């Protein structure tokens, strides 16, 4: 079904810009577009709760757990152009901990949806807050946006967003410790 839409879109685009969609280099472009978007946007078909995986009560600690600068790619919901960078996630467990790969999978679910960076950061933090019920969660996302860099004035810059919940919001020492841990 997505393949049919991609083909219709691609034919209309080529006609609009004066391109021949039947030329050799473009013959299979509609199928490649369809396959790309199926992969790039597969986060809708998965549940963040399920991909978090096993949550453990045994071994829950009272120290910060950090996933530092995980690379990601996402699609801007306003322009359907990529934005990409890295995400750092930290949380202070209360009674539950998740596997580190579960943290990465949760982030990936949300990055594989049409997004704006501000919502992406908040969705990851809120999911972990709801599922793990930690003392605090902090997510920092730094990204380059091709919708900014390729259009208009073509400015290259990084956008940084953060979401703070619980102790990270209330206690500046906790925030500072996290920021020190994710520094280069």
CATH 3.30.1130.10 domain locations along the chain:
53-182
pLDDT band at 173 (very low <50, low <70, confident <90, very high): very high
Whether the per-residue pLDDT at 158 is higher than 80: the answer is: yes
- 79 among the known binding-site residues? yes
pLDDT tens digits, residue range 67-104?
999 999 999 999 999 999 999 999 999 988 998 899 99
Tokens matching residue 110? 């949300």
Q: Which residue has the tokens 């579960």?
A: 102
Pairing of strands 97-98, 114-115: unpaired
- 141 among the known binding-site residues? no
Q: Could you give the 3-state DSSP secondary structure of residue 82?
A: strand
pTM for the model: 0.92
CATH of 53-182, one of 3.20.20.70, 3.20.20.20, 3.30.1130.10, 3.40.228.10: 3.30.1130.10
pLDDT tens digits, residue range 26-67?
999 999 999 999 999 999 999 998 898 878 777 667 899 999
Q: Please name the residues in contact with 166: beta carbons below 8 A apart, sequence gap of 6 or more.
A: 92, 129, 134, 135, 136, 137
Whether the per-residue pLDDT at 180 is higher than 70: the answer is: yes
- 147 among the known binding-site residues? yes
């Amino acid at each position: 079904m997505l393949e049919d839409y991609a083909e219709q879109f691609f034919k209309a685009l080529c006609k609009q810009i004066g391109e021949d969609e039947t030329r050799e280099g473009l013959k299979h472009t509609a199928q490649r577009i369809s396959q790309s978007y199926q992969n790039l946007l597969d986060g809708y078909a998965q549940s963040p709760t399920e991909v978090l995986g096993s949550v453990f009560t045994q071994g829950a600690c009272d120290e910060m757990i950090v996933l530092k600068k995980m690379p990601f790619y996402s699609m801007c919901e306003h322009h359907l152009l990529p934005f990409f960078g890295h995400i750092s996630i930290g949380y202070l467990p209360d009674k539950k901990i998740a596997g580190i790969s579960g943290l990465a999978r949760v982030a990936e679910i949300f990055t594989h949806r049409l997004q704006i960076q501000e919502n992406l950061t908040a969705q990851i933090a809120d999911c972990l807050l709801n599922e793990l019920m930690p003392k605090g969660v902090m997510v920092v996302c730094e990204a380059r946006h091709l919708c900014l860099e390729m259009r208009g004035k073509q400015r290259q810059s990084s956008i940084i967003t953060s979401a703070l919940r619980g102790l990270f919001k209330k206690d500046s020492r906790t925030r500072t410790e996290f920021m020190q841990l994710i520094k280069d």
